[in-house]
Amino acid sequence: MRALATPANLQPSESPYKGFLVLIPLPPPDLDPTSIFEFFRGSYATELLTAAVVEFHVFERLASNPQSFDDLRTELGLAPRPANVLITALRAAGLLTINRGSRLDLTPLAREHLLPGGEFDVSGYISLAADSPGVREMIVRLRTNRPAGSTAETEGTAFIFRDGTASAMEHEAAARRLTLSLAGRAKNVAPVLAERVPLDNIHTLLDVGGGSGIYSIAWLRRHPHLRAIVWDRPEVLKIAREMAALYGVSDRLDCVAGDMFRDPVPAADVCLMSNILHDWDVPECRTLVERCTNALPIGGRMLIHDVLLNDTHDGPLPIALYSAALFCLTEGRAYSAAEFREWLADAGLTPEPIVPTLIHCAVVGGLKSS
């Protein structure tokens, strides 16, 4: 047996697991790493607040004229997705509120400290960050409503795949690096998900955009009768096959290459979309939920496993900041349980109770009863 190579020192064609002779366990972590992720995403608070102050003048616009979400976003020149990301974060930070007239308004905190010329105004201090690269990039993302790596001339992004666009997920080295990076979080969350959402009477699980396959593997390790299908891009599935071998479930995990927006959905009793919908805007999310629902048998279940904004889109602040990260890197954002449940219901599913897992994630399930 040789030492496990790290993603940083791998060549594109190397497997970090080749040569292992002993299968390894997949236990839940002893300590909850949620605070690490909150700390890591904290930079987006600086970028959003500074953009609101120096570029969009949000607080000045609302000082004497509370507005509806749509009126404010129109005045700011923002599409719905970036406006949602910006305004949700400002509400989560306690700077904007919804008044009795159902309009966006300043909180007392913002009114005292973020209006230029006020006795206790700190907006000048915040503007010191106006020229930082992160702030300028955030402003570009908000203005254009395009993820990093995408311009008006070249549509494409490193973090998602869409047919006809450039994607790092089609290149072995980049796909390996990203997939293994995301597997770090998945290894913490997957055992908790498998424990809290048992699949005792299920024969086949479909893991849509399953990446490394860690979520499927956690269930396979828990349920010896279960089979799973990881449905993803060919370069990504190379890692899923390696993980299946590492955890001793290769005989029960099938890797199917495909485009989840175009190819036939593999048949299964349960469909999992773990941290997938947050990569896409609302129309694409609805399409994915409907396509996968149509492929389920009667009695089948849809499991949306993702972070959850409050239904009122006023927090929690860590999820609002994660939404900003998703906005900058993908075509999506964070969603609320109410939004997920609406899409499930519209697809013909009966929403099930929400089940929290780890690192701000939870399962919003739906049952296909007819």
Catalytic residues: 278
Assigned token pair, 144 = 């254009």
Provide φ and ψ at 154, rounded to 5°.
-130, 100
d(CA 229, CA 205): 6
What sign results for the dihedral spanned by CA atoms 129, 132, 134, 135? positive
**Residue 305: beta bridge partners?**
274, 363
CB 227 within 8 A of CB 254: yes
d(CA 264, CA 208): 12
E-state strands within 168-289: 204-208, 227-232, 253-257, 270-274
- 3 state DSSP class of 203: coil
Contacts of 365 (CB under 8 A, 6+ apart): 197, 301, 302, 303, 304, 351, 352, 353, 355
Provide φ and ψ at 361, rounded to 5°.
-90, 160
